[in-house]
Amino acid sequence: MKKIFTYAFSLLLIPVLAFSQGDKIKTSKGDLTITPITHGTVAFQWNNLTVFVDPYGGADLFKGLPAPDLILITDIHGDHLNQETLDGLDLSKAKIVVPQAVADQIAEKNKSQLVIIGNGQSTDQIGLNIKAIPMYNLPESADSRHTKGRGNGYIVNFGGKNVYLSGDTSDIPEMRTLKGIDVAFVCMNLPYTMDVDAAASAVIDFKPGIVYPYHYRGQGGLSDVEKFKSLVNKGASKVDVRLRQWYPAQ
């Protein structure tokens, strides 16, 4: 009986261990390892480099990962520019790519590490090409939570693989017309970004090889990512929709 219990328990651990090791994507310079952290926060490991996107939720969430060589921050809100989390991380070797609005608000001690780019601009850092993509709310207005030009989505090229990070955006034409995206991270949380139907429709248009729904906690709770997967599968069956646990406490 004890052997049966031990075997059953080990089977339960398999998906947890697989998730903790991250997903691996083949590139021209070895595997890109993708580790969801929480909400809109993700870690990439590639070619002996570590990249954090929008570090948030406290430094403890990054235990077991190397100190970052690069950090990307999309916007000024606390789930993207989170100074408390940044303060808890070892940033001694990190470059920090940000839009100007983030540069204006980040702590003085971090300013010497900044690389500032705006929508449509790009930079090469630590062997990675990084392009800033618009992210904003529709309809456009001066009092929008995410105004056009303030924040950046990003496309990062890891060894020939283009990884798109939407940041906080509505269903904007700049996203729908993207080309050559291998891996996409797409937000869906009302009322801050877009709903599941709009996110799925956009993904069906630009057809990334792989898509991860992320940043899907809104005022009404967690978005229905299973519905998102179903919609994308119906409209673009070749897109690999990967559902991962971004909110382990819920």
CATH number at residue 56: 3.60.15.10
CA 57 to chain CA centroid, nearest Å: 14
Question: Given pLDDT bands bounded at 50, 70 and 90, which one contains residue 140?
Answer: confident
First-to-last C-alpha distance (Å) of the chain:
33
In a domain, 88, yes or no: yes
Q: Domain of residue 57: give its range.
A: 23-241
In a domain, 107, yes or no: yes
Question: Given pLDDT bands bounded at 50, 70 and 90, which one contains residue 249?
Answer: low
In a domain, 150, yes or no: yes
The 10s digit of each residue's pLDDT in 152-192 is 999 999 999 999 999 999 999 999 999 999 999 999 998 88
Question: In which element (H, E) is residue 176 found?
Answer: helix 173-176
In a domain, 10, yes or no: no
In a domain, 27, yes or no: yes
Quote the pLDDT of residue 141: 75
In a domain, 79, yes or no: yes
More confident residue, 80 or 220: 80
Question: In which element (H, E) is residue 23 found?
Answer: strand 23-27
Quote the pLDDT of residue 204: 98
Average pLDDT, the chain: 91
Quote the pLDDT of residue 63: 96
Asked whether the predicted pLDDT for residue 199 surpasses 90, the reply is: yes
Q: Give me the number of domains the chain comprises.
A: 1
Token look-up 């456009």 returns 140
The 10s digit of each residue's pLDDT in 79-116 is 999 999 999 999 999 999 999 999 999 999 999 999 99
Sheet holding 49-53, edge to edge: 23-27, 30-38, 41-46, 49-53, 70-72, 95-98, 114-116
Q: Classify residue 59 as exposed, middle or buried by CB count within 10 Å of its CB (0-12, 13-18, 19+).
A: middle
Quote the pLDDT of residue 130: 98
In a domain, 18, yes or no: no
CB 235 within 8 A of CB 227: no
In a domain, 189, yes or no: yes
Asked whether the predicted pLDDT for residue 8 surpasses 60, the reply is: no
pTM of the complete model: 0.90
